[in-house]
Amino acid sequence: MAKVSKAAPTGKGTTIGEIEDLLNGAYGKLSIALRRAPPEQSDLISTALDLIEWVLNQLIIQDLHQDALILGKLSAQLKKATAKLNQLKTVLTQLSNAGALGTSLLNTIGTILPFL
């Protein structure tokens, strides 16, 4: 059985991680009880174990979905930042080209001035 240890608040002071810990604890106790249970109780305990496992899996799926949403938002922010960096690179390239042109003009003027 999978364990997730997220500490996302549920809004009532209990975290998802605490709920998972309680469910995992109940799962462990029921697993032990299943080995000792009379046949007429084993079906009920097995159903409870299946239900606990399903709830834990749903919590994991929800957590993965939330992670995917966060990654999607981060990806969009990175794309915007990359676009801004590319714009800055273009401006810096233009400034560098203008500086090189200015240097070339000054060198040309410096070369011509002694002949005037």
CA-CA distance, 51 to 35, in Å (whole number)?
18
Mutual angle of helices 16-36 and 39-112, in 10-degree steps: 150
Exposed/middle/buried for residue 15 (C-beta within 10 Å: 0-12, 13-18, 19+): middle
The model's confidence at residue 83, banded by pLDDT at 50, 70 and 90, is very high
User: What pLDDT shows up at residue 23?
Assistant: 94
> Is residue 6 scored above 60 in pLDDT?
no
What mean pLDDT is reported for the chain?
86
What integer is the mean pLDDT of 18-28? 93
User: What pLDDT shows up at residue 50?
Assistant: 95
Classified as helix, coil or strand, 37 is coil
Tens digit of pLDDT for each residue in 26-46?
999 999 999 999 988 999 999
User: Distance of CA 8 to CAs 5, 11, 12, 71, 73, Å?
Assistant: 9, 9, 11, 17, 19
